[in-house]
Amino acid sequence: MTSLDLSGRTALVTGSTQGIGAAIAAGLARAGARVAVNGRTPDSVDAAVERLSGEGPGAFVPAPGDVSTEAGAEAVRAAVPDVDVLVNNLGIFEARPALEITDDEWRRYFEVNVLSAVRLTRAYLPGMTARGWGRVLTIASDSAVVIPAEMIHYGTSKTALLAVTRGFAKEAAGTGVTVNSVIAGPTHTGGVEDFVRSLVGDELPWDEAQREFMIRHRPQSLLQRLIEPEEIANLVVYLASPLASATTGGAVRVDGGYVDAILP
């Protein structure tokens, strides 16, 4: 195959009931994959599967479970024993003054943002390498490189994911499995809308609020607007496809030029 065709492949996207995760699930299904939709509760997952149905030739299957816990990850593994494409998308973020972040909050961010990706990669990578084909993709963030002053716990967890990705790529060396992270820039999701409002207030219409946020808090962006979830999904689908067979161990940016670097 030399196309984006993922027919016959099974994908799992964590945290895919809404936002970037749902857009990635839809994109993979349009490429022909059978996509396992994940969220913490069966009700939220079933509702997402119903919303996503009809997005493409691929099918959607429910895989509920809180993958920030070992028990939740096991529940997901029971629902989907083997996958060809693993997208570690689950993540949380919240603005918090650096000196007010407690030990418990630091632990929570590592459990949700880092260890969820580690435990699922550890679970599914051996099957991929045994079959000689697979894709592990972890959604990182520009905050991994440009640590935001208002949420250093989030930024640090995303930095850790870049190291996790590089390490697992070395583990998969020469097997036909690629392991990459995707550095997503500021993206337009419901959670980000709330975050923008928390910083610029509720008075401005959304387009003006978004512009004010980018000017005041993300002036490095060359795109000068929030990225749409589908734009993140487009890169993920490419990296999951046979076309990206020589890309591994990388941190590939879809950040609107936010990270001021000449290397990807």
Annotated catalytic sites, by residue? 154
SS (H, E, C) 229-261: HHHHHHHHHHHHCHHHCCCCCCEEEECCCCCCC
Q: What angle do CA 163, 112, 194 make, to 5 degrees?
A: 110
CA–CA separation, 231 vs 225, rounded Å?
A: 12
The answer to whether 221 touches 257, Cβ cutoff 8 Å, is yes
Question: Residue 184 is inside which H or E element, if any?
Answer: strand 177-184
Q: What one-letter code names the amino acid at 233?
A: A
- Identify the residue whose tokens are 């529940």: 75
14, 159, 205, 223, 227 from 210: Cα distances, Å: 27, 26, 9, 12, 11
162, 171, 238, 251 from 178: Cα distances, Å: 14, 10, 12, 12
